Structure 1
Amino acid sequence: MRWIVRLGFLAGMLLFGYLVYLYFEIGHEVEPLVHYNPPKTTQIFDRNGKLLANVFEKEHRLYVPYEQIPGRVIEALVAIEDTLFFEHHGVNPEAIFRAIIKDIKARKLVEGASTLTQQLVKSTLLTREKKIERKIKEALLSIRLEQVLTKEEILERYLNAIFFGHGYYGIKTAALGYFHKDLDKLSLKEIAVLVGMPKAPSAYDPTRHYANAMARANRVLERMKTLGWIDEATYMREIKAAPKVYDDTLTQNRAPYIVDAVVNRLQAKYPDIRRGGYRIETAVDLEYQQMARVALKFGYDAYWKRHADDGNISDTFNGAMVVLDGRSGDVLAMLGGVDHAKSPFNRAISSKRQPGSAFKPFIYETALNLGYNPESKIPDIARTYRFEEGDTEKLWQPKNYEKDYKGMITLREALVHSRNLATINLVNEIGIMTLHKRLDVFGIENLPYNLSIALGNIALSPLQMARLYSVFADMGTLHEPRLIVNLYDNLGNLVEHIERRSKQVYPKPQAYLMVDMLRDVVRRGTGRNARVRGMDVAGKTGTTNNSVDTWFCSFTPDMEAIVWFGNDDNTPLAKRETGGRTAAPVVRVFYQALVKKHPEFKRKFEEPEGVYHVKRGGRDLIYTDISPLPAEDMTPANEEIIF
C-alpha cells in the first residue's frame, strides 16, 4: 500500500513539474494579448458626421477602451459568465471540479468551466476543439495572462475580441449594429442581449432568432437579480422590454464610389487603412450624394426610354457626376457610374474623355483677358486648313453642328450656340502659342498644339472638368477639389488635415463676363434643358464627334455640377444625343431638388465691382476696363451708362 502512495506522490510530482515546465515553456504565447492590437474597422463619414461606410478586411471591429465601457455592461457580463472573475487567478477550481464530475458521468467532455480569461484565451490564441491537452494549455495560459494583465485589461480585451454574431466583433460594434446606439445609451435589456450572446452567437443573434435572444437576455437579468445587483422593480420592467433590432449590412456603404476613392487615395500612404481603425472625415454631403444619384439615374433611364426600340444601342452606356461647393472646391457628391454593384469602375476619376465644346469657355475667357468683349465679332465661316501628317499633306474642313454659317457673330452668340467654326477662327486669331501660354496656369496635360484644341480634343475626367469649371463658379478662383478633410487614428488623434487649395486665375470682373455668357447658354442656348425656375444656372454643353461623349458642365451661385454620359467602349451614342439632350436635364433635376430642400441658397449671381453696363437698343451690354465694348458699339453721349 505504501508503494502505491509513493507512486502516486511521484506521479503527482512529475505532473506538477511537467505543468510548471509547460507553464514557462508556453508563457510567451500570451504576448498577442499582452500587446493586443487586433484589426480594427476604419469608418468614413460625411461633412455632417453621417456614416458613409465601414471599411475592414476580415473582422468588423470598432474598438472601445475600458474607460468607455459602462459599469452595467461589466456587471451583466460577470453575472452571467464568471461571477468570481474578480477573485480567481485565471481559472476557477470549483467550477472545474463540477465540470469534471459531469464529464465523468457522461463519459465525454460535455461541460466547460471556462472563466472569462479562459474564454478570451480560447477565442484568440487556441482552437475550439474539446481535447484535454487544449484545456490544460488554456488553463495555463489563462493563469499566465492574469500575472501580466490587470482584470480591467482582460475585460477590455475580452469585450473587443469576442464575436457577437452577424459579423460583429467587439461589443461596441454589436451595440451600434444591432441597436444603432453607443454603449452608454443602451438600456439594461439591450446590454443583457449583448452579454448573453458570446455563449452561442449564432443561436442568440437577435436579427435571426429574436425570441431566443430575448430569453437569454432575461436569464442574464434573472442572474443579476439573484446576485442582488438589480432590484425587483428593475427586473420586472426590463424583462418586459422588447428592444428594436436593426439588420444592417456590415459595411453600411451608402456612397461606394466615394468610399473607393477615399481608400484608394490613402492606401499608399497608410497601408493599414483597412485595418487600422481610422476615422476619416470627408467633404461629402450624403444628402447631395443621394440627390445626385437620383438625378444621374433620371438621365440614364431617359436615354434608354428614348431608344427603347433601337436594336443597336450599346449596353456599355453609363455616366458620371461630380458636385462641388462652388466657393471652396469641396467635393459634395461624386458618382463614378449609375450603379456601383454592376460596375465599380469610377468614371468620375479614372475615365479620361474628350470634353468637346465644354472646353470652349476657356478659349473665350482667354480672348476676354486679351481685350475682347462679349460683343466683339468673329467670323463664323468655313475654312480649309492644310497640314502634314508624315509625308502626306492633308486637308481639315471643320463644320458647325448645324452645318450652316452665320458670318460675323459676337463672342456671346458663338458661345451660346456653340459654333465650332467661330471658335476655330477665334483660336486662329489669338494664336496657338498665346493660348497655350494663357492656359498654362491650369496645368492641363497634353493640350494639342493645333486648332483641334478649339473642339476640346483633349482627354479629361469629370473630376478634372469640375476643377477647371471652379474658376467660373467662384468668379476667377481655381479650386483643387477636396475629398478628404481629416484623418484620425484609432485613439482619436488627428493624423492629417487636408487644407483647401486655391488660386486667383482671373480678375473677378473678367470671370463675370464669362459667367454672364454661360448663363445665356442656359437661358436661350444649347443648355436650355438645364433651366430651373427662379435660379441662375450657367453652363456649357459638350458633344464630341458622332456623340461619343456628351457633357454638361454647370454652376449656380453656390454649387457646381458636372455630368458626363457615354459608352464605356467609346462607340457613338444613339442618334441626336447631345450634351444638351443627354446631360443637361440631369443638372436640372439635381438643382430642382436642391432648391426644394434648401430654399435659403443663393438664387442670383452677384456682380462684382468693375463691371459696367450700357443700355442700347433695348439691350443691356456689359464691359470692363480690360474688355471695353467694340468701337462700333460704344454708347453715344446721350445714352445712359450704368456703373
Structure 2
Amino acid sequence: MTEPTLQPDKPAPSSSPREPKPRPRKPGGAGLRTWQSVLLGLVLLGLAGALLLGFCLVLLWPRLPDLNKVTDYRPDLPLRGYTAQGTLIGEFGGQRRAVIPYDQVPKQLKQAVLAAEDSRFFEHGAIDFAGVARAALADFGAGGAVQGASTITMQVARDFYLSPEKTPLRKIVEALLAYKIENTLTKDQILDRYINQVYLGQRAYGFAAAAQVYYGKPLSELSLAQIAVLAGLPQAPSAYNPQNSLKLAVWRQHYVLGRMLALGDITRAQYEQALKAPLNVLAGQGVLHYDVDADYAAEAVREIMVARFGEAAYTDGYKVTTTLVDTDQKAADAAVRAGLLAYDRRNGWRGPEGRVDLPENPQDATKAALAALKTRPDVGGLKAAVVLQVERKGVVVLRRDGQQETISGEGLAFCRPGLYDKATAARRIVAGSIVRLHALPKGGWEILQLPQAQSALVSLQPQTGAIQAWVGGFDFNHEKFDHVDQAFRQPGSSFKPFIYSAAVAEGLAPSTIIDDAPISINPGPGQPLWQPHNYENEFAGPMPASAALAHSDNVAAVRVVLAVGVPYARFHASQFG
C-alpha cells in the first residue's frame, strides 16, 4: 500500500465570504477635499460679506450725515487777546486750536504723521485691506488686539462724526463714512483735516495747537525730535503726553523715528541725531506760555467779550487787540514781582511751604518728590523744588524736570535761619521740605518763598486814556484776584501819589521833614473849620516825606498840598489825563 504524501498544513477554508481588498487611494484625494472645504467656506464668507455690504448700503448709507463739516471746514476757534504789537496774551475756549494751512505744514510733520498712523495713505482707498490683514495676523499671533488698522480717512470720519465707543455697527458706519469722504475730498484735503482736527491731549486739537501747548513754539520752529513726539500722540494722547509721561513719550518717539527711517523719510544721521536731541518740553499741565505775561488784562478781555457775545465768544474765533504795549507790560510785570520779592525779603524767612515724606531708597524718594511737585506749579518765576539732602556744603534739591541742584553760598542767604539747629519746626529746612528756587543774576539758584503780600500796577497814556500796562498781582495762576480791577481802593489814598509828585516837581525830597500834627483850615466865611485827621486819629509828629507817603498819612498830605498850593496841585494832577 502506498504511503500518503505528507502536505504542509493549510489553513482550513473559511466559511465566511471573501473580504474585499482595500482599494488603492488616489493621490491627493484628502487634500482635495480639504481645499474644497476651504473654498466653499470662502465662497460662503464672501456671500455673507456681500449680503452684509448690501444691508449696509441699503439701510445705513442713506442715513449717513452730509459732509458739510468736512468740506466746509469751520472748527470751533477760541477767543484770543493780543497786545497792540500783535503778541498773543490769552486764549479762551473749550478747545485749544490753531488752524494751519496745508501748504504751511512742515514736510517732516506730514511724513512723521503718515509713518506713525498710515504709511500707505496715498496708495490705498478708504480702507487699507493689506493693513487689515496684517493687523489681523498680528492680533491672532498675540492672542488679542495689539495693532489697529484704521486709516487716516477712517480717523477723520471718527473725529468729525462719531463717538469714541467701539461697537461693530460703529465700525461699519466709520468705514462707510470713510468711503464717502474719499469720494468727495482729495488725499491732501483729508490729511489737512486730520492735521488740524485730531485731539493731541491737554485740550489741544491739531498739531499747531499742540506745538504751542507742549513747546511754546509754532510748528515751523520745531526740531525733528519734537515733531516725532507730536506725531506719536494721536494713538494715545494721555499715555504719551510728554508733560506727564516723558519716558513713554520718548519710547513712542523712537518708534516714529524708526518708521521714518525705514520708509526713507530721514537718513541714518538724522535718525541718530534726533534720538539724542533735547525735547525742551514746557513744564506745567497744559498751561499755555506767552512771550508777554498779561494774564490779568487777558481775563478782563474775556469778561468783556462773554458779557457781549455770550458762549459764542469761546467758539467763534474772535481776536481782540488791546492797547497794551509789549515793553511797558514786561517792565510793569517785572517791577511788581521784584517789588514784592524785595518786600518779602525784608520780612524774613517764614519756612518751607510744605513737606513730603521721602522713603530711604533714593529711587523711591525721587518718585515721591516728583509726585509732590506735580501739584506745585511754578509761580511768578519761582520754581518749586523738594529738598533731598541738607549738608554742610549746601542743600540738594530736586526740580520738577528731574534735575538736581546744589544750593550753596549766596543761594542760602535768605533761608539760612531755617538751616540752624535752633530753628523752629515750622521754619526748619529738612529733607522733604518744599521750597522755591529763584534764578540768580550771575547763574545758579537761591531759595526764596512765595510772597504773602500782593501788589498791582496800571499804566495809562495821559492823552488818550489807553491802558499800556496792567498787572493785577504777583501771578494770575496763583492768585486770580485782580488788584487793579477788583480791589477796593480809598480814593484819597489813590490820589496821594499825584499830590506828592507835584511836590517832587517843586523840589520836595524824600528826606524832607513833614509835620504830622493836628491842623485846622478855614474853608471860608460861614463855614466850620476843617480839621483833617488820620485813619486811627493818631499823629506821628515830624517825619520824612517818604515815610508820610508810605503810611498814607492824611494830615501830612494836606500839609504837602498847602506847601505847593492848591492851584498848582490841581494843574499838575490834570496833566495825567
Length-normalised TM-score, structure 1: 0.51
Higher strand proportion (structure 1 or 2): 1
CA apart distance, 1:98: 2.6
Post-superposition CA distance 1:327-385 (Å, at most 9, x none): 5432122344566567644453355655237669999xxxxxxxxxx9xxxxxxxxxxx
1:102-181 aligned within 5 A: 102-103=138-139, 109-181=145-217
Q: Is the 2:125–2:182 Cα contact (8 Å) retained in structure 1?
A: yes
- Root-mean-square deviation (CA, aligned residues, Å) is 4.6
Q: Is the 1:116–1:158 Cα contact (8 Å) retained in structure 2?
A: yes
Pick from 101, 113, 123 the counterpart of residue 77 of structure 1: 113
CA apart distance, 1:236: 3.3
Length-normalised TM-score, structure 2: 0.56
Structure 2 partner of 1:33: 70
CA distance in 1 between partners of 2:270 and 2:498 (Å): 71
Structure 2 partner of 1:67: 103
The percentage of aligned residue pairs carrying the same residue is 32
Structure 1 partner of 2:91: 54
Structure 2 partner of 1:263: 302
1:578 aligns with 2:550: no
CA distance in 1 between partners of 2:497 and 2:283 (Å): 50
SS of the equivalent of 1:245 reads coil
The structure with more radius of gyration: 2
Post-superposition CA distance 1:82-114 (Å, at most 9, x none): 122112222111111233344456665443211
CA distance in 2 between partners of 1:287 and 1:109 (Å): 53
Greater RCO (Cα-Cα under 8 Å, separation 6 or more):
1
CA distance in 1 between partners of 2:493 and 2:272 (Å): 73
SS of the equivalent of 1:207 reads coil
* Structure 1 residues 527 and 198: alpha-carbon distance in aligned structure 2, compared to 1, 3 A threshold: farther
Structure 2 partner of 1:641: none
SS of the equivalent of 1:293 reads helix
Q: Which stretch shows the higher mean deviation, 90-99 or 47-56?
A: 47-56
* Structure 1 residues 357 and 143: alpha-carbon distance in aligned structure 2, compared to 1, 3 A threshold: closer
1:592-603 aligned within 5 A: none
CA apart distance, 1:3: 11
1:44 aligns with 2:87: no
SS of the equivalent of 1:273 reads helix
Gaps spanning 5+ residues in structure 1: where?
306-315, 364-373, 375-399, 406-420, 430-449, 456-524, 532-540, 542-551, 553-575, 583-618, 628-643
CA distance in 2 between partners of 1:174 and 1:325 (Å): 37
CA apart distance, 1:142: 1.1
1:282 aligns with 2:319: no
CA apart distance, 1:171: 0.7
Q: Which stretch shows the higher mean deviation, 335-344 or 76-85?
A: 335-344
Q: Is the 1:23–1:141 Cα contact (8 Å) retained in structure 2?
A: no
* Structure 1 residues 95 and 330: alpha-carbon distance in aligned structure 2, compared to 1, 3 A threshold: same
CA distance in 2 between partners of 1:240 and 1:355 (Å): 60
CA apart distance, 1:80: 2.4
Q: Is the 2:80–2:90 Cα contact (8 Å) retained in structure 1?
A: yes
* Structure 1 residues 401 and 68: alpha-carbon distance in aligned structure 2, compared to 1, 3 A threshold: same
1:299-448 aligned within 5 A: 320-336=456-472, 340=476, 344-350=480-486, 354-356=490-492, 402-405=517-520, 421=521, 424-425=523-524
Structure 1 partner of 2:511: none
SS of the equivalent of 2:155 reads helix
CA apart distance, 1:270: 3.9
Q: Is the 1:300–1:338 Cα contact (8 Å) retained in structure 2?
A: no
Q: Is the 1:50–1:286 Cα contact (8 Å) retained in structure 2?
A: no
Pick from 264, 273, 277 the counterpart of residue 313 of structure 2: 273
Gaps spanning 5+ residues in structure 2: where?
1-36, 349-451, 500-505, 507-514, 533-541, 558-562, 572-577
CA apart distance, 1:116: 1.0
Amino acid at match of 1:261: A
SS of the equivalent of 2:484 reads helix
